[in-house]
Amino acid sequence: MNIDLIRKRFADRFGGEGELYTSPGRINLIGEHTDYNGGFVFPGAIDKGMVAEIRPNGTDRVRAVAVDLDDYAEFGLGEQDAPSQGWARYIFGVCREIQKRGGRIAGFDAAFSGDVPLGAGMSSSAALESTFANALDELFSLGIDRFELARIGQATEHNYCGVNCGIMDQFASVFGKAGHLMRLDCRSMEFRYFPFDPEAHGYRLVLVDSAVKHELVDSPYNKRRESCERVVEVIRRRHPEVCYLRDADMDMLREAAPDISEEDMRRARFVIGETQRVLDVCDALERGDYATVGERMYQTHEGLSKDYEVSCEELDHLNDIARRCGVTGSRIMGGGFGGCTINLVKKELYDDFVSTAKRQFAERWGHEPKIYDVVISDGARKLA
């Protein structure tokens, strides 16, 4: 992250200096498609994110420089003042969501830049939202609860950017803690930190980005959510205490099998299994048992590929390469149909795995995957 460049662009445009704030992107070690099923996710903040220099300007206008895009936007704080640039709508949305909650803010100047890889599933948008939400909270002494900062980012996506996302990305960006992952209960919103230090146990965590994203002709996420909801409806006939698939077990699913389709059966089998895998990984980390963590990652990939059917040939190929190279754990990270695998690799196998993945993937698909090493880091904060 080139903070000197941010400072230079701020000074060139606005003169003087502001305060520096940052928020990270995130990974999710395990727990996919569990959020809308009332289950658990297990994210961590990473050492890549957004940095913004911000200073109140004494007006009712926001003036912002997107350093990486070499673009500038200026807008007011009323609902009618939405900017045309997509990136500026994230900042505008944060301002509006703070105001909706009674926060009194005024105009400010800002310049920002980021090093979260775009399109790799590490949530650059959440990092941007969290950076500005946290900064405005401090600069205007608003006293907003940290969870509310995450909800402000989520509401920005819903209301100003057209993305009906869950809370995980913003939660991880706000609450991240170096050396720890966070198990978030998506039903109760309770969370707990778990120690995660792969380096100390002889491992490295690496993302392998296929650099592909398949265009989909239908709405696969909505269809899978509908499958899960249909299964819950059937299970509830005998077990009214079940509100989400997270509340069900495999015995309940088998009991409901005559009344559900084979496809819905597979979708539900993945989600119920994934709920337990998150808990298994948490227990394993407390024991320092990274081998079990890796086993569960492979099981998640198998389920996402065969039962939930959100993988693609490129991601399955990367997972196969990881197995052949002796990688401890590997799986799709994110919604699927492209993007990254997340891999837990013994240090002594790292170089061979990376070179093999690059070579074999390129031989089959015509381009090398991108490699991102990941370090678990702190969440939204002011920089000294």
Catalytic, out of 35, 169, 209, 264: 169
* Whole-Å CA distances, 36 to 14, 245, 355, 358: 43, 9, 37, 34
Q: Report H helices in the chain.
A: 3-14, 86-100, 124-139, 146-160, 168-175, 220-238, 250-256, 262-287, 290-302, 313-324, 347-365
pLDDT of residue 166: 81
Residue 56, phi then psi, degrees to nearest 5: -55, 140
* Cβ–Cβ under 8 Å, residues 185 and 191: yes
* Cβ–Cβ under 8 Å, residues 18 and 110: yes
Q: Report pTM.
A: 0.91
**Confidence tier at 123 by pLDDT (50, 70, 90):** confident
**Confidence tier at 216 by pLDDT (50, 70, 90):** low
pLDDT at 219 over 90: no
**Confidence tier at 217 by pLDDT (50, 70, 90):** low
What domains are defined for the chain? 3-195+378-382 (3.30.230.10), 198-373 (3.30.70.890)
pLDDT at 84 over 90: yes
Mean pLDDT score of the chain: 95
240 compared with 163, residue with greater pLDDT? 240
pLDDT at 121 over 80: no
pLDDT of residue 356: 98
Instruction: Mark whether 60 is an active-site residue.
Output: no
What is the tens place of the pLDDT at every residue in 271-290?
Answer: 999 999 999 999 999 999 99
Tokens of 156: 């920005």
Q: Average pLDDT for residues 323-339, to the nearest whole number? A: 92
Q: Average pLDDT for residues 186-191, to the nearest whole number? A: 93
- Dist CA 121 CA 126 (whole Å): 11
* Cβ–Cβ under 8 Å, residues 196 and 129: no
Other C-beta atoms closer than 10 Å to the C-beta of 244 total: 18
* Helices 262-287 and 290-302: angle between axes, nearest 10 degrees: 170
What is the tens place of the pLDDT at every residue in 128-148?
Answer: 999 999 999 999 999 999 999
| Mean pLDDT lowest among 248-257, 329-338, 341-350, 367-376 | 329-338
Three-state DSSP class for residue 229: helix
- Dist CA 329 CA 295 (whole Å): 6
What is the tens place of the pLDDT at every residue in 17-75?
Answer: 999 999 999 999 999 999 889 999 999 999 999 999 999 999 999 999 999 999 999 99
pLDDT of residue 326: 98
Three-state DSSP class for residue 108: strand
